[in-house]
Amino acid sequence: MKYSRLAFLVIGIVNLILFVFLAVVAILAGDTGLVSQNLPCLAMAVMAFCLSYLFPQFIQKDERMKLIRHKGIFFSFFAFLTYSIVLTTLLQTNVIQLPGSEAVSILTTLMICTVFISWVVLSKIY
């Protein structure tokens, strides 16, 4: 299968439209829990847009891209720890009340977005 920037861009647009549609339907239905359940669609859109931007650079597979990938995962690990600590603290102190599935959905979305956005930022730096 051939991958290209255009393919990632189309996938990102489709996922973004899907997220917006499902979020609007959930809000109109009055169920905000469904909005957080659809957050992975938003994360997939962010991932596709980032991959569309990074596609020409990732094709090269040189030392620079390996460095960007490793540093991105390294920074994302600490961001995930921070997200987990903050979410656990908010849940334990009853500041927010979320079912487990919504909490996992939020963490998954944050992690996917953090990894790919950090790659974009690091590709600008290096």
Q: How many CB atoms lie within 10 A of CB 48?
A: 21
Range of the domain at 112: 5-125
- pTM score of the predicted model: 0.87
* DSSP 3-state of 21: helix
CA atoms of 98 and 35, how far apart (whole Å): 12
pLDDT string in tens for the chain (126-residue length): 567 889 999 999 999 999 999 989 888 888 777 777 889 999 999 999 999 999 988 888 788 888 999 999 999 999 999 999 999 999 999 999 888 888 899 999 999 999 999 999 999 988
Domain count, the chain: 1
The CA-CA-CA angle for residues 45, 50, 56, to 5°, reads: 135
pLDDT at site 53: 94
Q: How far apart are the first and last CA of the chain?
A: 30
